Amino acid sequence: MFATTTTIIVALITAVFGPIIVTWVKSKIEVKPLNTPMHDALESSTQIDTQLEMMMKELECDRIWIAQFHNGGYFYPTGRSIQKFSIFYEKCTIDTLNIQNTFQNIPVSLFPRVLSKVYKDNELSIDNIEKAEDTFGLEHLTTQFNTKSICMVGLHSLDDHLIGVIGISFKETHHIEKEEWVYIRQKIGVIGTLLSEYLYTTTHKK
């Protein structure tokens, strides 16, 4: 009788507390998977894409893009890095030509004037490329990509290095007002931070 009672008690304890103990032990020994490079890239890209979408709606522009600077090989025989840029992000209205595929692995030497302007002053705005006194070498955008007005602003890392450029363009003449500049600069800060966090975090993980 005593043995039977003991067996029943043991079975009861096992049935009630067994699963609880197993769950507790598993929670202590399970290792949560680390974020993969793909996860980090997609999360960062989604956040930046959302910011560009918001800017398009607010500014009512026809195209907005982000170009980032990157290493493009080395010069012979010194081994000095070749500076290039590529458009990594772009959003367009449904009737606006896409330029991302055209601007991939482009040497900065092909656009020295406009990039020097952004590097020095951080901002460039042309209300009407067709009538501008100085187009900074962007006049081909008028006919090739149906662009009449363009604004370009530098994107900086958290330690203030120029890491990219954001471009905002219109198919019609457009003057960027003071309130629009305030909005653009705020978004530039957000996007620059997002890019920096991704680039620097990725670098530190290596």
pLDDT in tens, 34-89: 678 888 889 999 999 999 999 999 999 999 999 999 988 888 888 888 999 999 99
- The shares of helix, strand and coil residues in the chain, as percent rounded to the nearest 5, are 45, 25, 30
Say if residues 129 and 141 touch (Cβ distance below 8 Å). Answer: yes
pLDDT in tens, 11-32: 444 555 455 554 554 555 555 5
Q: How many other C-beta atoms lie within 10 A of the C-beta of residue 146?
A: 15
pTM over the 0.85 mark: no
Q: How many other C-beta atoms lie within 10 A of the C-beta of residue 198?
A: 17
